[in-house]
Every structure is written in structure tokens, then in C-alpha cells.
Structure 1
Amino acid sequence: MASTVDELLSRARLRDAPPPPADIADSAPAAPAAGEGPGACRPAAGPPAPAGAAERQAAMRAAAHDLRALCEAAASGAAVTALGGGFLTQSLPQPAGARVLGCLLLLADTEDSARFWWQYASGAGDPIASYCLYLHHLALGENRQASWWHRQTAPAAEAALPAALRVLRALRPGGPGPGPGRAAVDAVLEYVPAAVNYVDDDLELPLPDPDFSERIRALTAAARRRP
């Protein structure tokens, strides 16, 4: 997990602007399926404790901010480019690719689709996807579901990710800055939401378009050629 945290931190960009508010969406509690605030309200240290209304709202805002920061770090130019490679393995998405896709969808303000891909990745053993779901439900004020997903996070990730998020918050108060790979991320963000509407009748999964990998490769290649 140390290498995963190092990778997330290596993608941080220094910014001076204040963090933008993150969108908050609803989700169904039947299948445990998501901020800015002072350090006392940080949700990353563990499952939320009972609090008053003001504290709950602060914790929800902090969780939404944390989730967005985590997704911005996870959906780097390199990770997005990798989606054009081995995203599908024997017709099923790889867990890491599904997690990155979920983060892209969150950044594109399609949280329901993001939650699906995080659930898929978490079920396949991706601890960062489980942590994304923990933050997602915490941002919605759904503490029971948030606690459930927190328990699904591997111990190594549970210990390392909160520290990584604290560093990301300090380094990137205004979100991701321009840099290598950012143009590729922006290009893919415009494409991805409409690309995951296809539902395979046999698998009953909202798989990406059949030419998803080819389109990702074309978009990222075009972005790299821009001056």
C-alpha cells in the first residue's frame, strides 16, 4: 500500500485557490453502495461518531472534499491512458481500471455510475474503491453504509489513505493543476459519461461502448500531441 500512497501523492499539484464544493448525490441503502472543513471534521480517520447537526454537515462536506481529492489523484494522466490498454480482461473490467473509471465518473458529476464501478472494483478486492465508497456514503450522511464500507477497506489502506488525503489537501487546496496528462484527463472526462450507458444482456453490466479502449487511446494520443 505504501507504493499506492506514494503514487497518489506524486500526482499532487500546488494550487492557491480555495477548494470548490463537491456535488452530493443519493443512493439506495439496500446494497451498501458518498467536505471541505477544519481538521477536526476530517472523516478519514475512521467511521463517523454521532454528532450534532453542524458537525454532521461539516463531516459531510469534508468527506465530499476528500473523495474528490482522492479521485483527482487516482485519475491521473497515466491512469487514464492505462484505460486504453487492458481495461477489459475476458470481457470483464479489471478492478483497478474499474476504480479509475468510477473516479472519472465522479469528477464528471455522475455519482450513481461512479458508485457502481467502485462496488464492482471493491468486490474484486480493490481497497481504494472500498474507501471511495466509504467517503461517498459519508458525504451523503449515510453513516451506517459508510461504516460498512470502512470495514471492507484493507487494514493497510485504512492506515495509509487518511494520511495521504491530509497531504493532498495541503498540497492541492484548489484541485488539480495543469501539467502533463491533464489534457488527456479532461478529454476523457468529456467522453466517459456517455460511454458507459451500454448494458450487456448476458452480463447485466453497464459496460463501456465496444470501442471504449480504442476511443480512450485516440483521445489520450491527441491530447499528448497538443502544444
Structure 2
Amino acid sequence: MRLHQPRTLDDVLARARINGDYTPGHRAASRRRITDQLLELRWINALTVSAGTPSGPAPDMLLHEQAEEELRAVSQGVIHQDDAARCIARFETARDPGGALAFTCLLMLADREEGAQFWHQYAASGGQAIGAVCLYLMHVRRGEWRDARYWAKQVEALEDELCQYALVSTPGSGGVEVRLALPVAAAVVPEDAVREALEDLDVDQVDGLGTILQPSAELARQLNDLVTADR
């Protein structure tokens, strides 16, 4: 049997036409999806282009590597704050977002991500802008662009909160662009020592989230010893 070959552009378009009901609502939804995808691509491109700026990492560093490096630098900066150990020590009774932030930065340095995202969200919801920054970096590192863009917007919303490292949020393509001016020579606590300090933490089961590690007064004492020895 000989197949019919389209002879004109109209023939091609006629064969490509979608059968069935296709309402203006469908067209509007398609436009929104395409617009969102284009904005996301522009946002990713803006991130990639800015990765080689003079104040940033080397141009040949991949975006997820840059995010990993910045996340660890931010985490080191947080645990070296003067009140980090005190915030963790009183967290059991006060549930201070600052204590949650310091604790989850320890988890990140020890590569213990179970519960880390939960505590970062807890800190960010309590007004800690650095918590939102860490979530932004976590999602960039994983290539989860929509989640990263969401937390970039939260950083912008919290930019009036006290935030070290001269955090700057400026309008970018399809959202906001997050830039960090990290300390050039920050003190560093050895990550092996952080892992050792976290070995005996208690855990709680949280519905829908599984096992969540909990900070303790003993951990606060160990953090204080580590930071003091590092100075």
C-alpha cells in the first residue's frame, strides 16, 4: 500500500494538528509552562556566567563544585560565630533558630545530611537569612534549579536580617541572583573532628521525615573546644 505523502506546508500542518478539544485554557497553560522553562534556563545561564567573576571561583570550576565550596565556607563561618556554641546549648529549651543554624552547619561539614535540610528550613523560617542561603546552595549543588530559585527568593525576602559575609541579592534573569562575599582567610575546624563530635547524637523520628538528629549540650561543649583550639 502506498502511503500518502504531504505535498504542501498546509498538508504537513494538517497532519500535525492535535485532535480533540484544545481550549484557550490549554494554550494559556502551555504558554506558562514554556515561559517558566525559559526563565529557568535563563536563570541557570546567569548562574553559570557569574561563576567566573573576579570575586568568585576559578572559571573552570563547575557550578555544583562552586556551590559545595561556598556551602562549606558558610558553614565554617557560622560555627565560628561567638554565640554558636551557646545557641546550640540552649536549643533544647529555647528552640532558637540560631541554634538550629549552627547545628545544621555542623551536620553539613560532617556530610551528615540526614535532617540537615530540615534544620536549615527551621532556621530560615525563624528569620535566619543564612539558613536560606545554605538551602539555596544545597539545591544548586544537587542541580535542583526550581528549589534553588525558590530559596534565592527567600534570601531576598530576608535580606534585611543580620547576615554576615556581605550577602547581596540583586534582580537576575527570571528571579534573583545570590552572591556571597566570603571571608578570604576564614578559620577552619577540621571536618574529621566535627564528624567525631557528632557520633553520639540522639535521634528523633519525625512523621514524614524519618530520623532527625538532635543537638545537645554536650555537642555545644565540644564545638566550643574545637573552635577555641582553632584560634
Bucket of the pairwise TM-score, normalised by the shorter protein? 0.5 to 0.7
Superposition pairs of residues 129-168 of structure 1, within 5 angstroms: 129-153=131-155, 154-156=158-160, 160-162=166-168, 165-168=180-183
Is 1:216–2:231 an aligned residue pair? no
1:79 and 1:189 mapped to 2: Cα distance?
Answer: 21
Query: Is this contact kept in 2: 1:200–1:207, CA < 8 A?
Result: no
Cα deviation, 1:11-69, whole Å, max 9, x if unaligned, reads xxxxxxxxxxxxxxxxxxxxxxxxxxx983169x9xxxxxxxxx997222211111111
Which has the larger strand fraction?
A: 2
Counterpart of 1:78 in structure 2 is: 82
1:65 alignment partner, one of 69, 78, 96? 69
2:154 and 2:201 mapped to 1: Cα distance?
Answer: 29
Cα deviation, 1:187-222, whole Å, max 9, x if unaligned, reads 554222541523378xx883527xx21453367459
Pick closer, same or farther for the CA change 1:111–1:214 going to 2, 3 Å. Answer: closer
2:132 and 2:117 mapped to 1: Cα distance?
Answer: 10
What code does the residue aligned with 2:107 have? L
1:70 and 1:206 mapped to 2: Cα distance?
Answer: 22
1:144 and 1:215 mapped to 2: Cα distance?
Answer: 34
Counterpart of 1:199 in structure 2 is: 205
What code does the residue aligned with 1:85 have? A
Counterpart of 2:93 in structure 1 is: 89
Query: Is this contact kept in 2: 1:187–1:220, CA < 8 A?
Result: no
Query: Is this contact kept in 2: 1:70–1:165, CA < 8 A?
Result: no
Percent sequence identity is 29
Counterpart of 2:17 in structure 1 is: none
1:188 and 1:83 mapped to 2: Cα distance?
Answer: 17
Gapped regions of structure 2 (runs ≥ 5): 1-47, 170-178
For the pair shown, the structure with the greater C-alpha radius of gyration is 2
Counterpart of 1:190 in structure 2 is: 196
Pick closer, same or farther for the CA change 1:150–1:108 going to 2, 3 Å. Answer: same
Normalised to the residue count of structure 2, the TM-score between the two structures is 0.55
Normalised to the residue count of structure 1, the TM-score between the two structures is 0.56
1:120 alignment partner, one of 114, 119, 122? 122
Deviates more, 1:155-164 or 1:126-135: 155-164
Pick closer, same or farther for the CA change 1:124–1:222 going to 2, 3 Å. Answer: closer
Query: Is this contact kept in 2: 1:42–1:59, CA < 8 A?
Result: no
1:42 and 1:134 mapped to 2: Cα distance?
Answer: 19
Gapped regions of structure 1 (runs ≥ 5): 1-37, 46-54
